[in-house]
Amino acid sequence: MGAGTLTITEENFESEVLNSDSPVLVDFWAEWCAPCIALGPVIEELASDYEGKAKVGKLNIDEAQELSVKYGIRSIPTVAIFKGGEIVHMRVGLASKDDLAGQLDEALA
Protein backbone atom coordinates (compact mmCIF):
# COMPACT_ATOMS: atom_id res chain seq x y z
CA MET A 1 0.00 0.00 0.00
CA GLY A 2 1.07 3.56 -0.60
CA ALA A 3 2.59 5.70 2.12
CA GLY A 4 -0.56 7.76 2.65
CA THR A 5 -2.99 4.83 2.64
CA LEU A 6 -4.19 3.83 6.11
CA THR A 7 -4.74 0.24 7.10
CA ILE A 8 -8.11 0.33 8.82
CA THR A 9 -8.98 -2.46 11.25
CA GLU A 10 -11.71 -3.20 13.77
CA GLU A 11 -9.27 -1.98 16.43
CA ASN A 12 -8.64 1.47 14.93
CA PHE A 13 -11.95 2.01 13.07
CA GLU A 14 -13.46 4.22 15.76
CA SER A 15 -10.39 6.45 16.16
CA GLU A 16 -9.40 6.66 12.47
CA VAL A 17 -12.86 6.77 10.87
CA LEU A 18 -15.72 7.56 13.25
CA ASN A 19 -13.84 10.16 15.32
CA SER A 20 -11.94 11.73 12.42
CA ASP A 21 -12.09 15.51 12.04
CA SER A 22 -11.75 15.14 8.27
CA PRO A 23 -13.67 12.97 5.78
CA VAL A 24 -12.45 9.38 5.47
CA LEU A 25 -12.64 7.25 2.33
CA VAL A 26 -12.77 3.56 3.27
CA ASP A 27 -12.14 0.91 0.63
CA PHE A 28 -13.77 -2.35 1.79
CA TRP A 29 -11.75 -5.05 0.00
CA ALA A 30 -10.31 -8.57 0.18
CA GLU A 31 -7.15 -10.17 -1.18
CA TRP A 32 -9.11 -12.71 -3.26
CA CYS A 33 -11.15 -10.02 -5.04
CA ALA A 34 -9.69 -9.17 -8.48
CA PRO A 35 -11.66 -5.90 -8.91
CA CYS A 36 -10.46 -4.83 -5.44
CA ILE A 37 -6.86 -5.37 -6.51
CA ALA A 38 -7.55 -3.36 -9.69
CA LEU A 39 -8.92 -0.49 -7.59
CA GLY A 40 -5.84 -0.46 -5.33
CA PRO A 41 -3.72 1.98 -7.39
CA VAL A 42 -6.65 4.45 -7.56
CA ILE A 43 -7.01 4.33 -3.76
CA GLU A 44 -3.26 4.94 -3.37
CA GLU A 45 -3.38 7.92 -5.76
CA LEU A 46 -6.31 9.41 -3.83
CA ALA A 47 -4.41 8.94 -0.55
CA SER A 48 -1.54 10.91 -2.02
CA ASP A 49 -3.74 13.59 -3.65
CA TYR A 50 -5.79 14.21 -0.49
CA GLU A 51 -2.98 13.98 2.06
CA GLY A 52 -3.61 16.60 4.73
CA LYS A 53 -7.23 17.14 3.59
CA ALA A 54 -8.92 13.76 3.97
CA LYS A 55 -7.95 10.27 5.11
CA VAL A 56 -7.93 7.35 2.69
CA GLY A 57 -7.76 3.79 3.93
CA LYS A 58 -8.39 0.16 3.16
CA LEU A 59 -10.33 -2.26 5.34
CA ASN A 60 -9.91 -5.98 4.67
CA ILE A 61 -13.39 -7.48 5.09
CA ASP A 62 -11.98 -10.92 5.91
CA GLU A 63 -10.25 -9.41 8.94
CA ALA A 64 -13.14 -7.11 9.93
CA GLN A 65 -16.27 -9.16 9.43
CA GLU A 66 -18.27 -7.39 12.16
CA LEU A 67 -17.76 -4.01 10.48
CA SER A 68 -18.67 -5.47 7.09
CA VAL A 69 -21.96 -6.74 8.52
CA LYS A 70 -22.62 -3.51 10.44
CA TYR A 71 -22.31 -1.41 7.27
CA GLY A 72 -24.12 -3.88 5.02
CA ILE A 73 -21.16 -4.68 2.79
CA ARG A 74 -22.39 -7.46 0.51
CA SER A 75 -20.28 -6.88 -2.60
CA ILE A 76 -16.73 -5.70 -2.91
CA PRO A 77 -15.08 -3.47 -3.72
CA THR A 78 -17.30 -1.04 -1.84
CA VAL A 79 -15.99 2.45 -1.19
CA ALA A 80 -17.64 4.46 1.58
CA ILE A 81 -16.93 8.04 2.53
CA PHE A 82 -17.49 8.85 6.18
CA LYS A 83 -17.93 12.37 7.53
CA GLY A 84 -18.69 13.08 11.16
CA GLY A 85 -18.93 9.35 11.84
CA GLU A 86 -21.67 8.81 9.20
CA ILE A 87 -21.54 7.45 5.67
CA VAL A 88 -22.18 10.30 3.22
CA HIS A 89 -21.39 8.34 0.01
CA MET A 90 -21.23 4.65 -0.79
CA ARG A 91 -20.28 3.11 -4.09
CA VAL A 92 -20.24 -0.59 -4.93
CA GLY A 93 -17.98 -1.90 -7.69
CA LEU A 94 -15.10 -0.36 -9.57
CA ALA A 95 -15.13 3.42 -9.63
CA SER A 96 -12.96 5.89 -11.49
CA LYS A 97 -10.54 8.14 -9.68
CA ASP A 98 -12.54 11.15 -10.91
CA ASP A 99 -15.80 9.79 -9.45
CA LEU A 100 -14.25 9.08 -6.07
CA ALA A 101 -12.39 12.41 -6.05
CA GLY A 102 -15.68 14.19 -6.79
CA GLN A 103 -17.34 12.47 -3.84
CA LEU A 104 -14.41 13.32 -1.57
CA ASP A 105 -14.53 16.95 -2.74
CA GLU A 106 -18.25 17.03 -1.91
CA ALA A 107 -17.54 15.67 1.59
CA LEU A 108 -14.85 18.32 2.07
CA ALA A 109 -17.16 21.18 1.04
- Which domains occur in the chain, in start order? 5-108 (3.40.30.10)
Mean pLDDT of 51-66: 96
Confidence band (pLDDT; 50, 70, 90) for 53? very high
Specify the pLDDT at position 101: 97
DSSP notation for the chain: --TTEEEE-TTTHIIIIIT-SS-EEEEEE-TT-HHHHHHHHHHHHHHHHTTTT-EEEEEETTT-HHHHHHTT--SSSEEEEEETTEEEEEEES---HHHHHHHHHHHH-
pLDDT at 2 over 60: no
Active site (catalytic) residues: 33, 36
Q: What's the pLDDT band for 3 if we cut at 50, 70, 90?
A: low
Q: Is the pLDDT of residue 1 over 60?
A: no
Is the pTM value of this prediction over 0.85? Answer: yes
